[in-house]
Amino acid sequence: MCLDDFIVHVKSDDFAAPLFAARAAKVLGAHLTGLFALRDVGQFKLLAEAESSPYLQRFIEQEYARAHEAEQRFREIAAREGVEWEWRIGEGDAADLLGMAARLQDLIIVGQSDWEHTESAWDVAERMVLTSGKPTVVVPRGSAVETAGKNVLVAWNGSREAAEALLAARPFLKNADRVTVMAGQGRETLPTRTNVPKLDVSAYLSRHGITATYQPLEDPDTDAGEAIIAAATELRADLIVMGAYGRSWVTEWLLGGATRHILKAAPIPVLMVH
């Protein structure tokens, strides 16, 4: 799988995600697109009186000024890292705009949700992970990004989601200085199975020129999310790769326990695939 085109959600109050995006784009030689969403502008322009209201016009001008300030900061980050970039401004819900713009992108990069202050527990990060159909990197708010994918921890349990994440992350793994695979026991059940083919992750990585070390999830009763974070901290990893477990409906969202814990508490960027 190629990761040639990145799109990152840019916010005016946190530039950790753009910084990771630029450094990762430099490592992989990718093109980087920054997207700034003007949610309230999109809502106000739906009002019939918006064009005739001086107050709303001033508000829209202020919002675009805020977007241009973010663009300048994004431009400086991209220039410092020496990556090709472009800038887009959208009017509307950030997750909706990002999901649409990402259709011709290989990787989405977003900031971790601010669970203490967001209006909903389902912010941009959660929606992108579950609904975009794209590999998504979630970057902790305010994190000091020093490297991007040089010391990678892969959480592996043989599931479809874990396999998709592993395949998506392969360009990172090939460029990493260190790859560690933490293997746990999957709980997938197949009603008709009698003899399941072995998934040899070691052989797969070796065929693709990736050298990895392996460590088991020693206690099967350990909370997987906590174990992943503990291992990443011990290894001083700068990227976690894992499957995202959950499902979404029109009126209900469900996340697996490990996925929810990682999205809330991971101290380093996490590449997820649902």
Structural domain count, the chain: 2
| 215 touches 180 (CB < 8 A) | yes
Q: What is the pLDDT of residues 224-256, one digit of tens each?
A: 888 999 999 999 999 999 998 765 543 344 455
Residues of the domain holding 217? 151-273
Tens digits of per-residue pLDDT, 121-143? 468 999 999 899 999 999 999 88
Q: Do 159 and 125 fall within a single domain?
A: no
Structural domain ending residue among the three candidates 139, 169, 186: 139
Q: Choose one of 139, 171, 193: the last residue of a domain.
A: 139
Q: What is the arithmetic mean of pLDDT over 67-89? A: 97
Rounded to two decimals, the pTM is 0.89
Q: Which range is least confidently modeled, 90-99, 109-118, 161-170, 182-191? A: 182-191
Q: Is 174 inside a domain boundary?
A: yes
Same domain, 79 and 188: no
Whether 146 is covered by a domain: the verdict is no
Whether 127 and 63 map to the same domain: the answer is yes
**pLDDT at residue 50, rounded to an integer:** 61
Residue 145 lies in a domain: no
Can you give the pLDDT at residue 54?
A: 83
Residues 209 and 109 in one domain: no
Burial class from Cβ neighbours inside 10 Å (0-12, 13-18, 19+) for residue 168 reads buried
Q: What is the CATH number of the domain that holds 22?
A: 3.40.50.620
Across the range 81-102, mean pLDDT stands at: 96
